Amino acid sequence: MAMHRIPVRVADVVDETADIRSLRLTRTDGAEFPAYEAGAHVDVVGPTGLTRQYSLCGRPSDRSSLHIAVKREPDSRGGSQALHTVSVGDSLEVGQPRNLLTLAPDADRHLLVAGGIGVTPLLGMAYELAARGAEFELHYFARSREEAAFVDHLESVTEFRGRVHLRFGTPRDKFPAVLADLVPELTPGSHVYTCGPEGFMTEVVTACAPVVGEQRVHIEHFVAAADEAGEDDAFTVELDTGETFEIPAGQSILSVLGENGIEVFKSCEEGICGSCVSGVLAGTPDHRDRCLSAADRSAGDQMALCVSRALTDKLVIELY
């Protein structure tokens, strides 16, 4: 099933750094966008037709436009490069905003830890937390001020004063010590949110999980997981309708269902966006995605059909 696309125009373009530009998108029909929660992301169909996911970094309360930031990746397959060529007035298409990263409603304190372009989803969360009057801090790590997006904005927003801490040029070997200084502010009732490079997020989990628990450290992934070491054995999938399909080694559940005319909502097909996540009624999934939380994986009642496989001979699934 293709995503429901919303035609938009580029209303504003800002070069935040040499490699990061922000785009403000408005609907071509002049209507408001659907409401979304802080931490949401959106599918964007670029000029080349490639669909990529970008976090929404504007104020969630402002439904007149969507605000994304795009980092030009030299080794990308063209998505980020293409969005670095668009100009004000150009037409694009977006999907419905959706969340894999959300704010915990019952936290006594929220700690946001961003690395580089990972600031994008956390900026939207900071807006929401400030609007709620919640206790939070945003720590933004970047190599230098020149390579950090939204710095002037973060320093000028009145409700962020005293809550945003810019940390430039922290050596990698000093990073654990800097994080350790943040931990005493946390309690078992606090929640931590992090987005950035893999090693960066691993360090955040290592520092904070002993205090708040791993289930309260929320991670946003931007890249697909490296190939897992697990075996790609064949297995059987049965839908809740009773239809049964054999999933051979080297082929995903999603592709087999598609070949048989079974429509599943999909987008990235890399285990990042969460579009194809479906329910598991029986059997044990072999999770290989980057979209489900540790709690979701432990529950074993849902899985990403595009990349994950089975640890049992058979799975019974329910398509959402």
Q: Are residues 205 and 126 in the same domain?
A: yes
At residue 75 the predicted structure's pLDDT band, cuts being 50, 70 and 90, is: low
Q: Are residues 51 and 78 in the same domain?
A: yes
User: What is 167-207 written as a DSSP string?
Assistant: EES--GGGHHHHHHHHGGG--TT-EEEEES-HHHHHHHHHH
pLDDT of residue 160: 95
Domains of the chain: total: 3
Residue 105 lies in a domain: no
272 lies in which domain range?
A: 235-318
Calpha distance 264→198 (Å, rounded): 29
More confident residue, 205 or 268: 205
Indicate if the pLDDT at residue 63 is higher than 90. Answer: yes
Question: Tokens 């490699």 identify what position?
Answer: 19
At residue 79 the predicted structure's pLDDT band, cuts being 50, 70 and 90, is: low
Query: What average pLDDT does range 74-80 have in this prediction?
Result: 64
Q: CA quadruple 240, 244, 249, 253: dihedral positive or negative?
A: negative
pLDDT of residue 1: 42
Q: What is the pLDDT of residues 8-36, one digit of tens each?
A: 999 999 999 999 999 999 999 999 999 99
Q: Are residues 254 and 290 in the same domain?
A: yes
Q: Are residues 118 and 212 in the same domain?
A: yes
More confident residue, 4 or 314: 314
Q: Residue 73 is inside which H or E element, if any?
A: none
Q: Are residues 240 and 216 in the same domain?
A: no
Indicate if the pLDDT at residue 2 is higher than 50. Answer: no
Q: Are residues 120 and 67 in the same domain?
A: no
pLDDT of residue 293: 74
Residue 103 lies in a domain: no
For residue 270, what is the domain's CATH number? Answer: 3.10.20.30
Q: Are residues 116 and 214 in the same domain?
A: yes
Q: Are residues 83 and 121 in the same domain?
A: no
Indicate if the pLDDT at residue 59 is higher than 80. Answer: yes
Q: Are residues 116 and 47 in the same domain?
A: no
For residue 169, what is the domain's CATH number? Answer: 3.40.50.80
Secondary structure letter of residue 117 according to DSSP: G
Mean pLDDT rounded to a whole number for the chain: 89
Residue 100 lies in a domain: no
Q: Are residues 199 and 264 in the same domain?
A: no
* Single residue among 220, 244, 269 that ends a domain in this structure: 220
Angle (deg, nearest 10), helices 175-182 and 198-212: 30
**pTM for this predicted structure:** 0.76
Q: Are residues 203 and 119 in the same domain?
A: yes
Indicate if the pLDDT at residue 70 is higher than 70. Answer: yes
Calpha distance 6→45 (Å, rounded): 10
